[in-house]
Amino acid sequence: MNLQPGASSLRLLAVSLVSIALAATASAQTPVTFYDGTFGPGWVASVAGLTGTVTYTFAAGGGGFPGASEKETHKLTAVGGVAFMYLANFNSVNTFTGAFKSLSYSYDLANPGKHDVFYAIAVQQIVAGVPTVYIPDKTQILDIVQLVNTFAAAPNPYFTTGLVASQFCKIPTNANYGNDIDCTQNPNFSSSTQQTVFGYVVGNSFTGSGSGIYKTAIDNWCVVLDGPSGPGSVGRGCRGIY
């Protein structure tokens, strides 16, 4: 009695195994998307790095495309003639646990104030029990919202694709002109157990005596993770980033 499978059976088995493997790979590689166009409850602002003193507010308001936007006001007061700050805004809803290859982001910015302001996509991870904030290396990515800039009624004009962990740098708590961001320390995108929260950072500086007041807004914030291998919010992408 011949119990060996025939060539056709082996081919069918091989095709089936390849199909299953491809399906599993496709499932694992489905992009994970986080998006917020209304900025409702849940966003929590904090100081990520500061020299000098700062007072600030983050609050959802109208004027976005469409609907609401997140409006920021901050007042920097110089100590010894210099003030420097990074303000972070995160929402725990935008949390992913697992590894991913890279991230892409987009958002829209407006500036009804009197000064240019720096924005950056940001990630937060717990390092040795301490929440640590990272932003992209500013020599490569600069999102500056300039004076009288208004929201675009179109796909987001501020975006960058394919950012990997080595392109993110830690914000020191005592950030200043000589201690801006620390690019020797990067986040971990390769751990299956790492929890990462996504948000954004507003940055600015003031020199001289007295204070500087800055007013800006952000809308249609979006992050897309490429090659994720953990649970999360699944979507096609948003505002021009896929």
* pLDDT tens per residue, range 13-68: 333 433 333 333 334 457 788 999 899 889 999 999 999 999 999 999 888 888 89
Q: Residue 238: inside a domain, yes or no?
A: no
The total of other beta-carbon atoms located within 10 Å of residue 215's CB is: 16
As for how many domains the chain has, the answer is 1
Q: Residue 147: inside a domain, yes or no?
A: yes
Q: Residue 98: inside a domain, yes or no?
A: yes
| Residue 57 belongs to domain spanning | 33-226
Residue 36 and residue 106: Cα distance in Å, rounded? 11
The alpha-carbon radius of gyration of the chain (Å, integer) is 22
Distance of CA 78 to the CA centre of its chain: 28
Q: Residue 6: inside a domain, yes or no?
A: no
4-40 exposure pattern, b = at least 16 Cβ within 10 A, e = fewer: eeeeeeeeeeeeeeeeeeeeeeeeeeebbbbbbbebe
Residue 212 and residue 55: Cα distance in Å, rounded? 11
Q: Residue 1: inside a domain, yes or no?
A: no
The total of other beta-carbon atoms located within 10 Å of residue 57's CB is: 11
Residue at token pair 């991913």: 100
**pLDDT digits over 181-234, tens only?**
999 999 999 999 999 999 999 999 998 888 899 999 999 999 999 888 655 444
CATH code for position 183: 2.60.120
